[in-house]
Amino acid sequence: MAAASSTILKAAVSSPSTARLPPPAAAHKLFSFAPSNKKHFLPKPLSKSFSCTGTAQAADPASTTPTKVQQLHVYEINERDRGSPAYLRLSQKTVNSLGDLVPFSNKVYTGDLKKRAGITAGICILIKHEEEKKGDRYEAIYSFYLGDYGHIAVQGPYLTYEDTELAVTGGSGVFEGVYGHVKLHQIIFPFKLYYTFHLKGIPDLPAELLGQPVPPAIDVEPTPAAKSCEAGATLPNFTN
Amino acid sequence: MAAASSTILKAAVSSPSPARLPPPAAAQKLFSFTPSKKKHFLPKPLTKSFSCKAQAADPASTTPTKVQQLHVYEINERDRGSPAYLRLSQKTVNSLGDLVPFSNKVYTGDLKKRAGITAGICILIKHEEEKKGDRYEAIFSFYLGDYGHIAVQGPYLTYEDTELAVTGGSGIFKGVYGHVKLHQIIFPFKLYYTFHLKGIPDLPAELLGQPVPPAIEVEPTPAAKSCEAGATLPNFTN
């Protein structure tokens, strides 16, 4: 059984193409992600960097649910210390194929990169390898855990070669009843991503989630205090 | 190692019962889906085929609250390597542990345009011996080209029609909520969906053509199947 189960996680290692990726030995050990080609996604300058748009729409007087849109920015960073991603090559083919599943869990920081917020947790389902785009289409189903504030659940496309928009499917805690969408921007595939949530149906978000976001760029990093999860540099009971 | 890994996808092939199913060799090669019994679902005549139902919008809010119906066909043309039946339970009968990622083609309800694809996963929950079928939890999305996507979650029963939750969307479907009725025409190749969508602006006309009532022999137009110009949604998902 041990021999059989080890084949499930048979790694298909492809050599990283750029210096920013971990050395091959570490890559092999930490994850079996086998993208067809790794690209740096050039950061898109943020034309809007405000932390909250009270793009108010008239609240329905008959309902107590506010209908304004609130923007929330977070960074998702794979620091390669959570065993993630776990590329399960269940298709048993040499190229990424339908059947491959990729559970993952990375760290989440607030948009201002000053506080460790929590984690992402979920799964990417390989749908199709896109040869012309030198990348893959996944269906991603996962949650953002933000400590005592609760979580936001999302579902939608993850394309290794371009930014996408996912559906916000629900949430808990301060995010109970949330709906909307989230824009996924890859800074460095697959290690650093920047998300802009457009959230409706919830009360005003707490200020500590709405600090001035750091515009996404290849070299942005959380503050050392946030990385070390020092007191004052995390959300209350940040998820880990 | 190779021998061990081949057991993971060990196919338990049952012989198909009706003539409409692909020949056994093709069935085994293309997918290891092993339903306990395959049935043709007799098409239900559509009593309502209009495309849009209006309810009073809330005058104080800019978010419409009317229900819009959207009809699409999902067709497995067996050219996407789908479904991928992962028999992770390692049991001979379909059992909890088995996972079925899938991706099929989507056409507009009038069958005149290729719309895009479905993409997601079915999680085998329980084999229902008395019903000669299986219960899955399905989590997937409908991709409709430049219009965006609709995310759904809910039950998929191989032996009867079900209703799934619409959990969200993107593009013109941003903020959508509602439900969708799944009708199986031919398990597991041809399905007909009726979405009841709320919370979004009026859908574009090309999604709202007069739907073709579901029946065993219905097919997309040749132009739609070949994705000819004018017979697809803009940048249809593939």
DSSP string, B64-84: ----EEEEEEEE--S-S----
Q: Distance from A37 to chain B by nearest Cα, in Å?
A: 20
- Sign of the alpha-carbon dihedral angle for A30, A105, A5, A33: negative
Determine whether the interchain pair B119/A127 forms a contact, defined as Cβ–Cβ distance below 8 Å. yes
Between these two residues, A137 and A19, which has the higher pLDDT value?
A137
Between these two residues, A19 and A174, which has the higher pLDDT value?
A174
Burial category of B18 from C-beta neighbours within 10 Å (exposed 0-12, middle 13-18, buried 19 and up): exposed
CA distances from B169 to A87, A180, B131, B164 (A): 27, 8, 33, 14
- The closest of B72, B64, B70 to B200, measured between CA atoms, is B64
Token representation of residue A203: 């009360």
Give the pLDDT score at A67.
Answer: 78
Residue A50 pLDDT > 70? no
The 3-class SS string of chain A reads CHHHHHHHCCCCCCCCCCCCCCCHHHHHHHCCCCCCCCCECCCCCCCCCCCCCCECCCCCCCCCCCCCEEEEEEEEECCCCCCCCCCECCCCCCCCCECEEEEECCEEEECCCCCEEEEEEEEEEEEEEECCCCEEEEEEEEEEECHHHCEEEEEEEEECCECEEEEEEEECHHHCCCEEEEEEEEEECCCEEEEEEEEECCCCCCHHHCCCCCCCCCCCCCCHHHHCCCCCCECCCCCC
Q: Among A28-32, A204-208, B118-122, which is the least confidently predicted range? A: A28-32
Distance between CA atoms of residues B181 and B52, nearest Å: 16
- The closest of A40, A2, A3 to A217, measured between CA atoms, is A40
Determine whether the interchain pair A180/B174 forms a contact, defined as Cβ–Cβ distance below 8 Å. yes
Give the pLDDT score at B45.
Answer: 43
Token representation of residue B213: 């009532």
Asked if A180 and B174 touch (Cβ cutoff 8 Å), the reply is yes
Could you tell me which residues of chain A have a Cβ less than 8 Å from any Cβ in chain B? 3-4, 6-8, 10, 57-62, 67, 90-92, 97-99, 101, 125-128, 137, 139, 141, 154-157, 165-170, 179-181, 198, 200
Give the pLDDT score at B65.
Answer: 78
Asked if B197 and B70 touch (Cβ cutoff 8 Å), the reply is yes
- The closest of A154, A178, A56 to B63, measured between CA atoms, is A56
Q: Report the residue of chain A nearest B59, measured CA to CA.
A: A60
Between these two residues, A185 and A20, which has the higher pLDDT value?
A185
- Residues A109-119 have pLDDT tens digits of 999 999 999 99
Q: Among A82-86, A138-142, B58-62, which is the least confidently predicted range? A: B58-62
For this complex, say whether ipTM is above 0.95: no
Q: Which residues of A touch B153 (CB under 8 A)?
A: 155, 169
> How many Cβ atoms are within 10 Å of B15's Cβ, its own excluded?
8
Tell me the percentage of chain A whose pLDDT exceeds 70.
72
Distance between CA atoms of residues B185 and B42, nearest Å: 7
Mutate to test the interface with A, among B9, B174, B177, B180 (most CBs of A within 10 A): B174
How does pLDDT run along chain B (238 residues), one tens digit per residue? 433 333 333 333 333 333 333 333 333 333 444 444 444 444 444 444 444 444 444 444 455 579 999 999 999 999 999 999 999 999 999 999 999 999 999 999 999 999 999 999 999 999 999 999 999 999 999 999 999 999 999 999 999 999 999 999 999 999 999 999 999 999 999 999 999 999 999 999 999 999 999 999 999 999 999 999 999 999 999 9
Burial category of B229 from C-beta neighbours within 10 Å (exposed 0-12, middle 13-18, buried 19 and up): exposed
Q: Which residues of A touch B1 (CB under 8 A)?
A: 3, 6-7, 10
Q: Which residues of B touch A141 (CB under 8 A)?
A: 120, 139
Mean of the per-residue pLDDT values for chain A?
81
Determine whether the interchain pair A61/B62 forms a contact, defined as Cβ–Cβ distance below 8 Å. no
What is the rounded radius of gyration, in angstroms, for the C-alpha atoms of chain A?
A: 18
Provide the pLDDT confidence category of residue A175 given band limits of 50, 70 and 90: very high
Report the b/e string of B51-64 with b at 16+ CB within 10 A.
Answer: beeeeeebeebebb
Give the pLDDT score at B212.
Answer: 98
Distance between CA atoms of residues A149 and A169, nearest Å: 17
> How many Cβ atoms are within 10 Å of B19's Cβ, its own excluded?
6
Q: Report the residue of chain A nearest B104, measured CA to CA.
A: A127
- The closest of A103, A117, A88, A85 to A190, measured between CA atoms, is A85
CA quadruple A147, A151, A155, A161: dihedral, nearest 10:
-30
Q: Which residues of A touch B81 (CB under 8 A)?
A: 91, 97-99
Which helix (H) or strand (E) is B162 found in, with range?
Answer: strand B162-169
Between these two residues, B30 and A208, which has the higher pLDDT value?
A208
Distance between CA atoms of residues A127 and A37, nearest Å: 17
Give the pLDDT score at A223.
Answer: 98
Distance between CA atoms of residues B10 and B94, nearest Å: 12
Residue A211 pLDDT > 90? yes
Give the pLDDT score at B62.
Answer: 55
Residues pairing with B168 in the sheet:
B151
Mean pLDDT of A60-82: 79
Give the pLDDT score at B231.
Answer: 98
Give the pLDDT score at B221.
Answer: 98
Enumerate residues 6+ apart whose C-beta is below 8 A from A35: A14, A96, A135, A136, A160, A189, A190
